[in-house]
Amino acid sequence: MNTELFGVLITFLLTIILAIPLGKYMAKVFAGERTITDFMNPFERLIFRISGIDPKAGMNWKQFLKALLSINLLWFVYAFFVLIFQNKLPLNPDGNPGQTPDLAFNTAISFLVNCNLQHYSGESGLTYFTQLFVVTFLQFVSAATGIAALVALFNGLKEKTTSNLGNFWNLLVKSTTRILLPLSIVMGIILAFNGTPASFDGKDTITTLQGDTVQVSRGPAAGMIAIKQLGTNGGGWFGANSAHPLENPNYFTNIIESIAILLIPMALVFTLGFYLNRKKLAYVIFGVMTFLFLVFVSINIYFETKGNPAIDRLGVAQHIGSMEGKEVRLGSAATAFWSIATTSTSNGSVNGMHDSLTPISGGVAILDMMINALYGGVGVGLLNYYIFIIIAVFISGLMVGRTPEFMGHKVEAREVKIAALITLLSAFLIKSGTALAAYFVSHHPGLAWSVKPAAWLNNPSYHGFSEMLYEYTSSNANNGSGFEGLGDNNIFWNVTTGIVLILGRFLPIIGPVAIAGLLANKKYIPESAGTLRTDSITFGGMTLAVIIIVNALSYFPALALGPLAEYFSLK
Amino acid sequence: MSKRKHEIKLFEPALVNTAIKQSFVKLSPRLMIKNPVMFTVEVGTFVMLAVVLYQLGTKDSTQGALWYNIVVFAILLLTVLFANFAEALAEARGKAQAESLRKTREETPAKKVLLPGDIFVKEIKVVPSSQLRLGDRFVCEPGDVIPMDGEIIEGIATIDESAITGESAPVIREAGGDKSSVTGGTKVLSDRIVVQVTTQPGETFLDKMIALVEGASRQKTPNEIALTILLAAFTLIFIIVCVTLKPFADYANTPITIAAFISLFVCLIPTTIGGLLSAIGIAGMDRALRANVISKSGKAVETAGDVDVLLLDKTGTITIGNRKATNFYPANGVGQKEFIEQVVYGSLADDTPEGKSIVELAAKQVNPNLSPDQFRDQHLAVHNAPVTFIKFTAETRSSGVDLPDGTKIRKGAFDAIRNMAQKAGNTVPKEVEEQVKKISSDGGTPLVVAVNNEIKGVIELQDIIKPGIQERFERLRKMGVKTVMVTGDNPLTAKYIANKAGVDDFIAEAKPEDKMNYIRKEQATGKLVAMMGDGTNDAPALAQADVGVAMNSGTQAAKEAGNMVDLDNDPTKLIEVVEIGKQLLITRGTLTTFSIANDVAKYFAIVPALFIASIPALQHLNIMGLKSPESAILSAIIFNAIIIPMLIPLALKGVNYKPIGASALLRRNLLIYGVGGVVVPFIGIKLIDMLLSVFM
């Protein structure tokens, strides 16, 4: 058990050690300074020339968002149709069928919004072509979109007064060529050397020790697994994601993949410090995120390594913890750590089944996705955290008797309105989605749909409720992991979660970028002795309090009816 | 804070009665909708009323016991009434405060001057003050109470303003200067003045302020709007929580009564701050008024709390009045007594405050029993022939007397007297020159005395810095407010006084446009500037400043330009105004935090109560050990209701402001109102539940 804890600790420390230099490097990339990746210059210039883009042309927040949203719409249309017609396209050695329109809608949206709410299994639901040119492609550009939006926020904070948030196209391209591609190449090679397939051949047939033959799916998986971890997308090549022995072969790859989940989101926090030259602010933000992250990790490791009380009562010893839905080669502690890493960062990859987590761990995973700002998805995590900062700034500004200001700009009614709406949005999407599903399950269980509401839930009672709650929380957070007991590949779930995915992705990008644009346009107010410092531990504590209170107030009843009720009943 | 003569008790019975009546009047939905949080509570109350009426009609018991629903209805109604009461009480207090000032100017006879066009030109007719209109002129003679606010256009008078300011020492008001305004209700003690009415009846600043307090013309300040939005968002979140709870409960096979839903909702939404928000705003203006400052809008008070730069006139704010003589330094070979004698003669013609202070000091040193005037007369009486006064002129830059015996005594600036002496072939004594330099470098003003063009010694004039002013500036610095001294002195003297008083910056040799330029410069860097002024030439700067406080004694133009008027004419008042502004924001912030933090305990009371029947395991969440689901819900809503009146004193008096730095202040307030906000309701709800369990 101590070895397992040590493994978790090493993983986390290694992540921090790697994240700091990466954060510094990214700050240089965004500032246009010289970096070791300058050899990409000709390639980028080629892209800009072909697309007729002037990468130096500044954009105000409206132009920036317009560019961001229009290219995303284009990608959606492209992905939707390619998925439907994938059976007619090349690179389909296993002869997999095209997707149904509702599944294609859900899949396209899912990857567009940097999520992996895969209501299919990769082995049978996609072809190599769509794995590469839809899923992997979107895994790169959706992550780059998030980073670009975050840098727009940085640019708004960097200048005293400006309307220029940077050029979206430039940031999109450079995030891909300078950050995501190089890191993915390194990681893909590591994975391939550890046994992850990287082949265009179809299914392989092997004979097991028992003598029967088994079909084993494979494909060019290593590269995609690298970007799904690094880009906080999480969409696995195989249905079982990183619990699959080919997707995550051994404890070493598990460490690499765990680090990859947290690396860029964590590094971006440091980037904020380097890019804005406000290192202390970055450390305070990092501190708040890390504090809550470690609290969650500790809770989950405690409950997962302790085992299930119901099994205890049967007199069965659980020395290695609760192993239902976990991989023996990884262990309960590593899975508990991953469950928090993946839900913190809206990654959504799993190395064990979250449906099988003990009630409190499952509840913490849900809560973690509700907060969705502990490091968070690449780029968007910090944007979410920024919303909490705005609310914390507003309330604490009042508490010290000054009209609130953040980094030299007054926070007034308009910004508070946007921040409040974004906060409200999560609660609205998660709770109304779950309420709708619960309504059908309890009032119309026998509806003549392809899958009857009564058949949605694999588990009755509290856990069934948690399955629904998890699905919508995961959708809103663009996380993508699921309590997989839920029968979710049908029109109701595909469409409703699809809508939640879109709203849960783009509004929380639009809101913070708009606030950044509005604030940056305002007159700059120099700091004085009366200014409330936002890079102090006190203010960090205030932000932490806002995060906890807002989420506790929004979700306490739902969490009480799902995970808490299950936990207390099991006790 | 300064004098609080018009102190009104917090729960003055007469005011409480008015407020109680008003709380019912304010139940009108048209008025309630202005406060979205409390409006939703009122809607909830009506729904409960409907439930009660339905039960009375149908004897349906699926919605719980009738008595229980009636109690819930009553408590919700009380919640709304308490919030209304808070607002009404704040209004009543503000109004009473303003009225007590207005009372001083009720119907008084006015001696109206008839103008050309009237039958008897310049004749005086006694009319009631209410008949005076803008532009009318009236005469006041000793003993008259001034009937209306106005500006003196003729004459000079001493006036007793104690009715307004509480200050018993009479003040001088005269036509033409910066001290030309008189206030209705004050009393003329000597001389005759002609005053022109400057405002239409019912449109004085006080009238405007009363209208603000009464709510008719009260507009929400930007900050209040932002907070209202945030509170509305919280309310919406709790609407979502409560609405979605219905399908959740259905899924868990738990019936939930309407009363329980509404109770949960009302407990969760921020009723505490929602109910007290407008009371806090009104109380801010009221506190300003209590400090004898009339604010023309609620926003002005709020902005004051944000001010970054304070422009303060040196004279009267930082130093006491004018410069005063502090020392006499005779040249070598001149006796102290002889020199004083010469000094006194040299100053006889100088009736500036500085000149008078020289005679004063001399009198004190020679014969402490005599008053300066007696001392002065004594000196004049020595000579049987009249002495010739030589007045100060810009060319000679000196003044003095020619005595009947031909002795010429002159006193003036060093270089003027030096030139005079050198022209006559006399040298300047070395020790005098050194003394002059020393005095200058100490921030003082040296005046040199010559007798028959021979330099006899130096008089030192010094500014006297007000006692305690350094501490006030220190306090301001801790608040993050930069203080700037404005003075006509030369830069050297200004710098010395600035350092001594502890101001951060100064404007020396200031002309009126310098103030304006300084304000513009600071505002261009995003700072908010406050200043105080009285003269007509201050008016543009007062208008430009974010907070402009005009002295009541100042010209009408100045008063129109500023956004506050100080009835006390106290230049240090700005400092108080800043604190009142900060207090206003802090009170809002802390009560918001308190209100929201309260919800944690309420969740722990109500959520287990709702589900315990069907999910017994949730009993573990009943950490307060409340007796029954019914008592738990009632305890929560009772706590929610009574916390409003319990916080009224805090809302009206304001949270104490301590200038301890922003971070420390945040820590302190988070600890008291954040952590306190979490803990207090746990205790409160438990106590109420114990009390209820006696009856239930």
pLDDT in tens, B203-249: 776 676 667 666 645 667 777 888 888 888 888 999 999 999 999 99
Tell me: do B315 and B453 sit in the same domain: no
Q: Is residue B474 part of a domain?
A: yes
Report the alpha-carbon distance of residue A461 to residue A566 in Å, rounded: 9
B589 near A CB under 8 A = yes
> Chain B partners of A526 at a C-beta cutoff of 8 Å?
525-527
Residue B301 lies in a domain: no
Residue predicted with more confidence, A487 or B582: B582
B93 within domain boundaries: yes
Nearest CA of chain B to the CA of A312: how many Å?
19
Across the range B127-137, mean pLDDT stands at: 80
Cβ burial of A324 (10 Å; 0-12, 13-18, 19+) is middle
How far is Cα B608 from Cα B596, in angstroms, rounded to an integer?
20
8 Å CB contact of A552 and B478: no
Question: Which residue shows structure tokens 């409560």?
Answer: B242
Contact A569 B603 (CB under 8 A): no
Question: What pLDDT sits at residue A71?
Answer: 95
Cβ neighbours of B590 in A, within 8 Å: 398-399
Which structural domain range is residue B80 located in?
Answer: 13-98+209-292+578-695
Q: What is the mean pLDDT of residues B272-278?
A: 88
Helix residue ranges, H only, B367-445 = 372-381, 414-423, 430-441
Q: Please work out, in degrees rounded to the nearest 5, the angle formed at the alpha carbon of residue A417 by the alpha carbons of A416 and A418.
A: 90
How far is B604 from A261, CA to CA, in rounded Å? 36
- pLDDT reported for residue B500: 84
- Touching A: B residues 651-680, CB under 8 Å: 657, 661-663, 665-667, 669-670, 673-674
* Closest residue by Cα to residue B577 from B318, B210, B208, B301: B301
Q: Is residue B447 located within the same domain as residue B541?
A: no
Q: Do B306 and A395 touch (CB under 8 A)?
A: no
Query: In the prediction, which pLDDT does A61 show?
Result: 93
Question: How would you class A326 by CB atoms within 10 Å of its CB: exposed for 0-12, middle for 13-18, buried for 19 or more?
Answer: buried
> Considering CB atoms only, which of A424, A462, A558 is closest to B236?
A424
Q: Which of A435, A541, A564 sits opposite B244 (nearest CB)?
A: A435
A520 to chain B, closest Cα gap in Å? 13
Q: Is B593 on the interface with A (CB under 8 A)?
A: yes
CA distance A482 to A488: 10
Nearest to B222 among A412, A533, A541 (CB): A412
Give the model's pLDDT for residue A1. Answer: 60
| Facing A556 at nearest CB: one of B232, B302, B607 | B607
Q: Are residues B91 and B222 in the same domain?
A: yes
How distant is the Cα of B444 from the closest Cα of chain A, in angstroms? 32
Q: What is the residue type of A330?
A: L
Decide: B626 and B603 in contact? Cβ < 8 Å. Answer: no
B368 located within any domain: yes
Give the span between the Cα atoms of B385 and B22, in whole angstroms.
Answer: 78
Residues from chain A that touch B671, judged by Cβ atoms under 8 A, are none
Sheet order of strands, B309-313 included:
B293-295, B564-566, B547-551, B529-533, B309-313, B482-486, B505-507
Shared domain for B130 and B60, answered yes or no, is: no
- Which residue among B443, B458, B473 closes a domain? B458
Distance CA B358, CA B322 (A): 12
Give the best-scoring range by mean pLDDT among A217-231, B6-20, B361-375: A217-231
Q: Which residue in A has a C-alpha nearest to residue B244's C-alpha? A: A435
Query: Residue B360: what residue type?
Result: E
Coil, helix or strand at residue B207: helix
- Of the listed ranges B139-148, B390-399, B679-688, the least confidently predicted one is B390-399
B631-648: per-residue pLDDT in tens? 999 999 999 999 999 999
**Chain A contact present for B238, CB below 8 A:** yes
Name every chain B residue with its beta carbon within 8 A of the beta carbon of A428: 240
pLDDT tens over chain A, length 571 residues: 688 899 999 999 999 999 999 999 999 999 989 999 889 899 999 999 999 999 989 999 999 999 999 999 999 999 999 999 998 888 888 888 889 998 999 899 999 999 888 788 878 888 989 989 999 999 999 999 999 999 999 999 998 888 899 999 999 999 999 999 999 999 999 999 998 988 888 888 888 888 888 888 888 889 899 999 999 988 888 888 899 999 999 999 999 999 999 999 999 999 999 999 999 999 999 999 999 999 999 999 999 999 888 888 888 888 888 888 899 889 999 999 999 999 999 898 999 999 999 999 999 999 999 999 999 999 999 999 999 999 999 988 888 887 788 888 888 888 999 999 999 999 999 999 999 999 999 888 888 787 888 888 878 788 999 999 999 999 999 988 888 778 777 888 888 999 999 999 999 999 999 999 999 998 888 777 677 888 999 999 999 999 999 999 899 999 999 999 999 988 7
Distance CA B287, CA A243 (A): 66
Whole-number Å distance between alpha carbons of B75 and A545: 31
What per-residue string of b and e applies to B561-593 under the rule 16 or more CB within 10 Å gives b?
bbbbbbbbbbbbbbbbbbbbbbbbbbbbbbbbb
Q: How far B586 CA sits from the closest chain A CA (Å)?
A: 4
Question: What pLDDT is attached to residue A11?
Answer: 95
Task: Judge whether B644 lies within some domain.
Answer: yes
Chain A contact for B222 (CB, 8 A cutoff): yes
Select the residue of B250, B478, B586 nearest A443 (Cβ to Cβ): B250
For chain B, the domain total comes to 4
CA atoms of A332 and A357, how far apart (whole Å): 10
Which of B458, B477, B502 is where one domain is finished?
B458
Phi, psi of A456 (to 5 degrees): -65, -40
Structure tokens at B391: 């007045």
- Sequence-ordered strand ranges (E) for A38-114: none
CB B533 within 8 A of CB B516: no
| Pair B339, B246 in one domain | no
Cα–Cα distance measured from residue A392 to residue A398, given in angstroms and rounded to the nearest whole number: 10
Q: Which of A439, A539, A545 is closest, CB to CB, to B674?
A: A545
Please report the pLDDT score of residue A133 as a whole number. Answer: 92
Q: Are residues B282 and B233 in the same domain?
A: yes
Residues B228 and B364 in one domain: no
Alpha-carbon distance B318 to nearest alpha carbon in chain A (angstroms): 22
State residue B168's pLDDT score.
Answer: 63
Sign of the alpha-carbon torsion through A85, A88, A89, A91: positive
Same domain, B356 and B417: yes
Q: Which of B401, B430, B458 is the last residue of a domain?
A: B458
CB contact under 8 A, A398 and B223: yes
pLDDT grade for B166, boundaries at 50, 70 and 90: low
| Token representation of residue A240 | 């079982």
Residue B642 CB contacts under 8 Å (≥ 6 apart), including other chains: B82
* Domain-embedded: residue B572: no
Q: pLDDT per residue over B476-485, tens digit each? A: 887 778 889 8
Chain B residue numbers with beta carbons less than 8 Å from the beta carbon of A434 are 244, 248
B396 and B541, same structural domain?
no
Cite the active site residues of B: 313
Rounded to an integer, what distance in angstroms lies between the CA atom of residue B300 and that of residue A142? Answer: 48
Say how many CB pairs under 8 Å bridge A and B: 216
Where does residue B265 rank: exposed (0-12), middle (13-18), buried (19+ CB within 10 A)? buried
Q: Examine the pLDDT at B654 and tell me if it is beyond 90.
A: no
Domain that holds residue A303: 2-570
User: Which residue, B350, B355, B328, B352, is CA-closest to B341?
Assistant: B328
B603 vs A contacts (CB less than 8 Å): 552-553, 556-557
Place of tokens 């492609």: A137
B264 and B165 both lie in a single domain: no
Identify whether residues B189 and B167 lie together within a single domain. Answer: yes
With an 8 Å Cβ cutoff, are A399 and B673 in contact? yes
What confidence score (pLDDT) does residue B486 get? 85
For residue range B134-157, list pLDDT tens digits in order. Answer: 888 888 888 888 887 888 888 888
Mutate to test the interface with B, among A396, A400, A566 (most CBs of B within 10 A): A400
CATH (domain of B118):
2.70.150.10
Q: How many domains would you assign to chain A? A: 1
Looking at residue B4, its pLDDT comes to 43
B662:A533 CB<8 A: yes
The gap between the terminal CA atoms of chain A, to the nearest Å, is: 23
Q: Are B446 and B459 in contact (CB under 8 A)?
A: yes
Chain-chain contact of B230 with A420 (C-beta, under 8 angstroms): yes
Task: Look at residue B3 in the predicted model and tell me its pLDDT.
Answer: 41
Same domain, B240 and B191: no
Residues 241-280 of B with CB under 8 A from A: 241, 243-248, 250-253, 268
Would you state the pLDDT for residue B332?
86
Q: What is the pLDDT of residues B284-343, one digit of tens each?
A: 888 888 888 888 877 788 888 888 888 887 776 777 766 788 888 988 888 888 888 888
CATH at B395: 3.40.1110.10
What average pLDDT does the structure give for chain B?
Answer: 83
Which is more confidently placed, B372 or B617? B617
Quote the tokens at residue A175: 């995030």
C-alpha separations of B270 from B42, B575, B590 in Å:
14, 33, 13
What was the ipTM of the complex prediction? 0.87
User: Closest by alpha carbon to A167, among A50, A63, A303, A251?
Assistant: A63
Task: Search chain A and give the residue with CA nearest B654.
Answer: A401
Surface of B (471-490) touching A: CB under 8 A: 477-482
